[in-house]
């Protein structure tokens, strides 16, 4: 049952913004007033969609480009974009609960690209420190252990700080025996680099087993490098979601996404709601997947 006082609290907070509070932005305040007024209807619609979702064809593997943290912070009027990153990190925890509830066994999220290293050095430092804090929290997270979630980090982790690499090793060790859900976290990740790493590992393995280059090329086919991809052993993503209104993939899971369905959402990642997630699942269910046939 929705608590009416919570809507009043949201409305009062929105009016405070309108009067020049923390954000001091009229557009944000008006949207907040609107959302507070519509909140009861959203709850009803969310429950309706959640009930419908029980009959939908659901993806086995969802990829998510968690975009819009900095824009979200700026819309709040925050001087420090790290505010958006911190809220976005908490949103990931919430989103995983939705995946557990809807029995989606594999999720791959893109947290930090190789190109992100080119951002302001202070922002990069703050982001990497946040990743380390959140990674260490996952080592003993009841949600991950109770739901038997195996956590894997993909990307060029050798480029990450040693302390973050150590934290990654701890959580992978702590969850490595689970097989109910899989969470892949892409850090220092680039799609082209993943493919080039896979080719390099494939060629290295062939040469190490005594094959010469001519024989290796003769036996090569598109499936040959699949075992060398970062996501080896997992189903390819059925659905890829990108938030913040950007309509591009930026190289995310380039090889694996040949037959993926895409869903682009205008909402910035920290503001992504369960109702947005359900709409993405509904869109996936509505599509006819032919896999090129």
**Count of residues in the chain:** 293
Burial of 139 (0-12, 13-18, 19+ CB in 10 A): middle
Query: Are the C-beta atoms of residues 253 and 191 closer than 8 Å to each other?
Result: yes
Of 93, 91, 134, the C-alpha closest to 243 is 91
Query: Are the C-beta atoms of residues 244 and 266 closer than 8 Å to each other?
Result: yes
Active-site choice (3, 25, 57, 67):
67
In the residue annotation, 184 being an active-site residue is answered as: no
In the residue annotation, 67 being an active-site residue is answered as: yes
Walk across the sheet containing 239-242 and list its strands. 149-154, 181-189, 106-113, 61-65, 239-242, 261-264
Biggest distance spanned by C-alpha atoms of the chain: 74
Of 34, 61, 19, 48, the C-alpha closest to 260 is 61
Burial of 149 (0-12, 13-18, 19+ CB in 10 A): buried
Query: Are the C-beta atoms of residues 139 and 170 closer than 8 Å to each other?
Result: yes
Strand (E) or helix (H) holding 72:
helix 69-76
- Please, which residues bridge with residue 61 across strands? 106
Place of tokens 């405070």: 16
Query: Are the C-beta atoms of residues 272 and 87 closer than 8 Å to each other?
Result: no
Active-site choice (57, 80, 103, 116):
116
Catalytic residue positions? 67, 116
């Amino acid at each position: 049952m929705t608590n009416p006082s919570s809507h009043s609290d949201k409305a009062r907070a929105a009016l405070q913004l309108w009067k020049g509070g923390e954000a001091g932005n009229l557009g944000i305040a008006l949207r907040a007033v609107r959302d507070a007024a519509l909140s009861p209807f959203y709850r009803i619609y969310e429950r309706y969609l959640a009930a419908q979702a029980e009959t939908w064809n659901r993806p086995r593997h969802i990829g998510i480009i968690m975009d819009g943290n900095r824009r979200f912070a700026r819309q709040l009027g925050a001087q420090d974009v790290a505010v958006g990153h911190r809220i976005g990190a908490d949103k990931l925890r919430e989103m995983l609960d939705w995946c557990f509830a809807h029995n989606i066994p594999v999720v791959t999220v893109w947290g930090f690209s190789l190109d992100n290293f080119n951002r302001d050095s202070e922002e990069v430092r703050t982001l990497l420190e946040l990743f380390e804090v959140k990674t260490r929290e996952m080592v003993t997270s009841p949600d991950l252990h109770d739901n038997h979630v195996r956590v894997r980090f993909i990307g060029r982790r050798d480029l990450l700080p040693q302390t973050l690499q150590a934290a990654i090793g701890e959580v992978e060790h702590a969850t490595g025996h689970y097989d109910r859900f899989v969470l892949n976290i892409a850090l220092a990740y680039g799609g082209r680099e993943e493919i080039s790493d896979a080719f390099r590992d494939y060629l290295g393995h062939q040469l190490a087993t005594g094959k010469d280059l001519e024989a290796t090329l003769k036996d090569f086919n598109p499936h040959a490098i699949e075992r060398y991809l970062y996501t080896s052993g997992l189903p390819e993503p059925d659905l890829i979601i990108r938030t913040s209104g950007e309509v591009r993939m930026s190289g995310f899971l380039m090889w694996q996404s040949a037959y993926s369905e895409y869903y682009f959402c205008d909402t910035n990642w920290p503001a992504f709601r369960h109702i947005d997630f359900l709409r993405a699942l509904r869109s996936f269910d509505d599509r006819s997947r032919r896999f090129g046939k």
